[in-house]
């Protein structure tokens, strides 16, 4: 079984077994956890797997490269394909004969999960950080970038001039211009999106405050964020941009925007009327 074959068809356990004798003791601990908990590992962040194996994150990354994969996300993709081959469907896919109920349940559960994993104190802290920042920048790539654009639209309607940056190069350059009065909100379901994390690091190095919106409470981005908000809706690599995770992100944005509007009711109402009036002639 070659690495190319695994990347196309799965069979991650066979790949691990073939490399197992050449792994270090620490890497073998990672391999053992993967073999024993394959169904759970697919939803782990790199930090989660490192904790489960009682090793460092760098050991997990070395393990992935040692078995011939480029990184942790390719490793999880191989697991997803492996599980899909065994079950005939990708992890988390809805049951065909009960499509409406299954998908609606995923969405409802994701919202409930978001509510249960965020305290009122955490939400209020994030709202205050946004309220007191001289400038606010939402960073995200891929589907999370679309959430960043939606955040810009929502906050603009209540009179807040925020920015949404979805190009990694522009993110990095923007982050380099920030200072202690500025704020960056990094949005990533996995909590391991390298471009977003790297840009937050640059912003933090320049003194800016940072907020992370992610599914994984323990992930690389949460280690550098001043505040962490959790969005529900787990997804496997084959479920990228799942609707449940997307709706959960938007729910968090709605909490922040509505919370800020309630703090400044008169201004928010005035701005909603002004922005609505500005586009009224664009609708028949």
In the chain, domain spans? 3-87, 100-282
Taking the C-alpha atoms of residue 198 and residue 195, their distance in angstroms, rounded to an integer, is 5
Whether 3-87 shares its CATH topology with 100-282 is answered: no
Nearest in space to 90 (alpha carbons), one of 204, 268, 236: 236
185 forms bridges with which residues in the sheet? 138, 211
Taking the C-alpha atoms of residue 10 and residue 78, their distance in angstroms, rounded to an integer, is 5
CATH 3.50.50.60 fits 100-282, yes or no: no
Taking the C-alpha atoms of residue 182 and residue 71, their distance in angstroms, rounded to an integer, is 33
Residue 92: left if φ>0, alpha if ψ -120 to 50, beta else—which one? left
The residue ranges of the chain whose pLDDT is under 70 are 1-10, 86-97, 235-241
pLDDT of residue 90: 55
pLDDT of residue 232: 86
pLDDT of residue 8: 44
Taking the C-alpha atoms of residue 131 and residue 136, their distance in angstroms, rounded to an integer, is 9
Token duo for residue 143 = 């589907």
pLDDT of residue 86: 65
Token duo for residue 12 = 């991650």
Number of H helices, E strands in the chain: 14, 5
CATH T-level topology, domain 3-87: Arc Repressor Mutant, subunit A (1.10.10)
Burial class from Cβ neighbours inside 10 Å (0-12, 13-18, 19+) for residue 226 reads middle
Q: Which pTM was predicted?
A: 0.78
Contact by Cβ (8 Å): 184, 203: yes
Cα dihedral 57/248/181/136 (nearest 10): 120
Taking the C-alpha atoms of residue 7 and residue 222, their distance in angstroms, rounded to an integer, is 29
Contact by Cβ (8 Å): 171, 210: no
């Amino acid at each position: 079984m070659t690495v190319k074959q695994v990347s196309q068809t799965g069979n991650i356990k066979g790949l691990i077994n073939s490399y197992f004798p050449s792994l270090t003791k620490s890497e073998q601990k990672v391999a053992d956890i993967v073999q024993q908990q394959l169904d759970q590992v697919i939803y782990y962040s790199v930090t989660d797997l490192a904790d489960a194996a009682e090793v460092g994150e760098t050991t997990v990354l070395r393990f992935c490269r040692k078995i011939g994969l480029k990184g942790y996300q390719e490793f999880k993709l191989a697991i997803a394909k492996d599980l899909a081959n065994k079950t005939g469907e990708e992890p988390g896919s809805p049951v065909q004969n009960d499509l409406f109920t299954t998908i609606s349940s995923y969405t409802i559960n994701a919202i409930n999960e978001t509510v249960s994993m965020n305290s009122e104190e955490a939400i209020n802290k994030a709202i205050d950080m946004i309220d007191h920042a001289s400038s606010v920048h939402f960073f995200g790539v891929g589907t999370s970038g679309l959430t960043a654009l939606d955040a810009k639209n929502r906050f603009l309607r209540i009179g807040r001039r925020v920015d949404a940056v979805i190009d990694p190069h522009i993110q990095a350059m923007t982050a380099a211009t920030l200072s202690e009065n500025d704020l960056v909100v990094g949005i990533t379901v996995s909590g391991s999106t390298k471009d977003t994390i790297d840009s937050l690091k640059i912003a933090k190095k320049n003194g800016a405050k940072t907020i992370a919106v992610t599914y994984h409470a323990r992930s690389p981005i949460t280690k550098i964020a001043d505040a962490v908000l959790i969005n529900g809706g787990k997804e496997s690599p084959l479920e990228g941009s799942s609707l449940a995770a997307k709706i959960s992100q938007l729910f968090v944005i709605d909490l922040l925007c509505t919370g800020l509007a309630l703090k400044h009711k008169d201004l928010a109402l005035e701005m909603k009327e002004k922005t609505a009036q500005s586009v009224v002639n664009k609708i028949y």
